Each structure stands twice: as C-alpha cells, then as structure tokens.
Amino acid sequence: MVALIQYRSATGLRGVAAIRDGAAAVTVPGVQSTRELAQRACDSGTTLTALIDAGACGVPLDLASVQLLAPIDHADPAHLILSGTGLTHMGSAEERDRMHRAISDAPHQSDSMKMFLMGVAGGRPNPGEAGVQPEWFFKGDGSCLVAPGAPLCSPQFALDAGEEPEIAGVYLIAADGRPMRLGYALANEFSDHLTERHNYLWLAHSKLRPAALGPELLLGELPAHLEGKSRILRDGQVIWEKPFLSGEANMSHAIANLEYHHFKYANFRHPGDVHVHFFGTGTLSFSDEIRTREGDIFEISAPPFTLPVRNPIGSGDTPNIAVGVL
C-alpha cells in the first residue's frame, strides 16, 4: 500500500512524501502539495502511484523533524468542499435511532431508522445503476479542515463537541468535470450531537463544525473491512474507548453509490475543486452519555493507516454578528 503525506519543513518549505507498505517516508521531488501531484496525474492521464514511481530520486524523510499537514488542501480554501453522508454503517441506525428517540418515545419508526432501512434495501445497486440516495450534509470549506494535532474548536454557541471516527474519500475534479478519487483518509467528522438530538431538523446546524483528517492519504482501493479504535483522553487518562468498523463490508451503502449521489450535482463538478466526503460511522461516544470538554483529546486509529487522527478540543471565539446595511 502507498500513502501520501504533506509536510512543512523547519525552514517553512512545503513538500510531499510517500510511505510504502508502512516503511519509512520518502520525499516526492518536484511538488509542494498533494493537489499539485494529482493535477499532474490528471493532466498526463496517469496515476498518482505511477508519478511517485517515476520520481525515484526522493530522499528519506524523518517525520519527527517536520510539521505534518492535512493530506489534502487547496491554495484557495473556498475551492475545497467538505461534505458527508450518514446512516451508512450497519451499526449507525441503532446509535442514531437511540439518539432521536430521546426526544419522543413514539412507537413508530424514527426517520433515521427508515432511512437506514432504505439503504439496506437499495444502497448497493448493480453496476451502472443508481441506488437509493443517502442522508447528505454540507460541512464547510477548506478553512474548516484542521491540521494534525491542531485543536478542533467548538463555537461558543455549541451544545456539544463530539467525535465521529470515519473514512473520507478525497477527490479532484478534472478539467472535463469528472471526479477523480485520489484516495482515502482516516477522519474525525467533529459534530454537535446534542443540537441534533434536540431536533433532527437541526442536523445541518450540528454539522457546521471543523473536521480533522489523519496525515495519510491512502492510495488505491479501500480495504473492504477496517477495524479501528476511537478513544478520548482527559488529563492524560483514557475516559472512553471503543472499537469501530468501516469499509464496505460493514456498510449498508456501496461507496460508489455514495459518490454518485454527491457528484450527480453539477455544482460539485467544477474543474480544479477538491472534495473531502465523509462516509459515516456507527460509533459515537455521545451515545454512551460521554460529554466532552475543552482540552479533551480525540484519538482515532485504524490499520492500514499507520498514523492516528489526534486532535484536542479547543474553544472558538464568541461571534459578534451585527449585520450592516449598504
């Protein structure tokens, strides 16, 4: 397996390095960003792996000597779109249904359970067909993507600050408007679950938060079965820990179906744009009545990714919104 990382050296220079089969990182010469490398692959009709193999004059890189960046970014953050899907994992319906039933113990199925069952029935269409569409949400632009180790800042008006251990697909839109998948990243799709639990129609509000990716962009296909671990540390001690499963073997939707229902919209196919699309989870500390606080650290790990997603909770500024008139 090959993974890409982005880094900044002690002198402030950016670079890209490749990690092959968990071995030491080796620099990729001639590029300063993953997007630049991907654009070259698009323009030349080749693959990222082929370009890496062609640049065989890279040198070993000590990851401890550099600042690790998110594995993808864009020089203009407005051209990087964060979005995601929910109720896509076999364990997700129970978690969300329990959360929404806390509002009302109605005897009928919640909307979350109905949508999950629709995905089970129609989320894996035959090749060339469109399956049932999943839940979808907008999360933000590139300014919402935090670097490895940087705080996930929860706004002052938030009711909760919770983790979501996920896999995210990373895409570049080619010159002809075709979405090109670069690879996959381990992710924390940071959300406000208490706001969502108060009223499901506030889901859109609950998702407008920062998000973190692990340092690695895994190239090629995602393994069908991934087993990871999500945990929360407070004052150096683990206060919550739970395994999570991902990969298509543990999902009600095929990844191709999730991709289709995102990129079917023409405004998500602007050439040169970057997309990070979160595929959902079935494991939340919030469902176990864990309430986080500033300074807590989220740590999410899952082989074959060799580096975790690790970020503390920070505090956002108090917004002072006074609308002017022109």
Residue 287, phi then psi, degrees to nearest 5: -65, -20
pTM of the model as a whole: 0.91
Residue 65, phi then psi, degrees to nearest 5: -95, 0
Asked if 204 and 135 touch (Cβ cutoff 8 Å), the reply is: no
Rounded to 10 degrees, what is the CA torsion of 146, 81, 194, 115? -140
- For residue 92, the model assigns a pLDDT of 53
- For residue 210, the model assigns a pLDDT of 97
Residues 130 and 125: their CA atoms lie apart, in Å, by 6
Question: What single-letter DSSP state applies at residue 191?
Answer: B
Asked if 270 and 280 touch (Cβ cutoff 8 Å), the reply is: no
Look-up: residue for tokens 């009545």?
289
Look-up: residue for tokens 């030491």?
24
Token output for 154: 């929860």
Token output for 1: 């397996």
Cβ density class 86-111: b for 16+ within 10 Å, e for less: bbbbeebbebbbebbeeeeeeeeebe
Asked if 215 and 16 touch (Cβ cutoff 8 Å), the reply is: no
Contacts of 167 (CB under 8 A, 6+ apart): 184, 185, 186, 187, 222, 226, 246, 247, 278, 279, 302
Residue 131, phi then psi, degrees to nearest 5: -90, -175
- For residue 132, the model assigns a pLDDT of 82
Task: Compute how many other C-beta atoms are within 10 angstroms of the C-beta atom of residue 126.
Answer: 6
Per-residue model confidence as pLDDT tens for the chain (326 residues): 899 999 999 999 999 999 998 788 999 999 999 999 999 999 999 999 999 988 767 899 999 999 999 999 999 999 999 999 987 876 654 555 555 454 445 456 666 677 767 767 777 888 888 888 888 999 999 999 999 999 999 999 999 999 999 999 999 999 999 999 999 999 999 999 999 888 888 999 999 999 999 999 999 999 999 999 999 999 999 999 999 999 999 998 899 999 999 999 999 999 999 999 999 998 899 989 999 999 999 999 999 999 999 999 999 887 788 899 99
Name beta bridge partners: 250. none
Name beta bridge partners: 246. 226
Asked if 28 and 15 touch (Cβ cutoff 8 Å), the reply is: yes
- For residue 38, the model assigns a pLDDT of 97
Bond preceding residue 304 cis, omega within 30 of 0: yes
Q: How far is CA 112 from the centre of its chain?
A: 21
Look-up: residue for tokens 């989320």?
123
- For residue 85, the model assigns a pLDDT of 93
In total, the chain counts a number of residues equal to 326
Listed residue (43, 73, 75) closest to 275, CA to CA: 73
Q: Helix, strand, coil proportions of the chain in percent (round to 5)?
A: 25, 35, 45
Asked if 3 and 22 touch (Cβ cutoff 8 Å), the reply is: no
- For residue 57, the model assigns a pLDDT of 75
Cβ density class 247-271: b for 16+ within 10 Å, e for less: bbebbbbbbebbbbbbbeeeebbee
